[in-house]
Structure 1
Amino acid sequence: MAVIHREVPIDATPARAWAAIRDWGQVHRRLAPGFVVDTRVEGEVRVVAFADGTVVRELIVSLDDDARRIAYAVVGGSLEPVHHHASMQVLGEDGAAASRFVWTVDVQPHALAGPIGAMVDQGIEVIRRTLGAAPA
């Protein structure tokens, strides 16, 4: 199994960054607009459509406000048959002007580490721009 781990600075307060990530049904509006073109919630699953045509069904495994962490697993869609489990977390002290964004993805088969890693890198750049922009 491959592990893709990225940790990057975000020019947004931890509270602001977490609010966008926590709003797990609005990824296409609040977190990664343009990279994600639509998000639809169906119970504990979100259906995420990416700009490249990939569509995945993600089960929300945990949503932890205290740790500012969300974990999810792909349970269907364009990436089948793949094992894909990921988490996103915001690190930083309350009141800080900036934070750190951590995205970790476990993926199998290992051969998908390159393509999934490239998607993560592209997504991170969109997330950094989106969260670093002035609040509406």
Structure 2
Amino acid sequence: MTFANGVVARELIVDLDDTARRLVWSAVGGRLTHHNASVQVFDEADDEGACRLVWIADLLPHAMAPAIAEMIEQGLQAMKAALESAESSRHNEPPPV
């Protein structure tokens, strides 16, 4: 994975659970001595069609947390923009003939 700031991380997929809508991975190498993370999508009960994404990261050394948090925030914003763009395109497509 190459991040917007140029940082390259080698990531190992630990679990991919389509039913739970959850992805778990670990980053190896680099300056982190430990990294395990997950993202999971949950439906929002009070807003039909809406969902909430929860991204959890556990890492060492703790001093790296602010830099990793910034990269997570950038990743979340990129995902949000991509999903909103896809949704907008889907609504602007002409009906099938």
TM over 0.5: yes
Q: 2:94 corresponds to which residue?
A: none
Q: How many Å apart are 1:97 and its aligned residue?
A: 1.4
Q: How many Å apart are 1:126 and its aligned residue?
A: 1.4
Q: How many residues align?
A: 85
Q: How does 1:102-117 map to 2 (within 5 A)?
A: 102-117=54-69
Q: 2:79 corresponds to which residue?
A: 127
Q: 2:95 corresponds to which residue?
A: none
Higher helix share: 2
Q: Deviations over 1:33-91 (max 9, x none)?
A: xxxxxxxxxxxxxxx11221111111100000111000000123xx3343111001110
In structure 2, give the amino acid aligned to 1:112: M
Gaps of 5+ in 2: 91-97
- TM-score, normalized by length of structure 1? 0.57
Please identify the structure whose Cα radius of gyration is greater.
Answer: 2
- TM-score, normalized by length of structure 2? 0.78
Moved over 4 A (4+): none
Higher relative contact order (CA 8 A, sep 6+): 1
CA spacing shift, 1:81–1:99, aligned 2, 3 Å: closer
In structure 2, give the amino acid aligned to 1:83: H
SS at match of 1:111: helix
Gaps of 5+ in 1: 1-47
Higher strand share: 1
Q: How does 1:1-136 map to 2 (within 5 A)?
A: 48-76=1-29, 79-92=30-43, 96-133=48-85, 134=87, 135=89
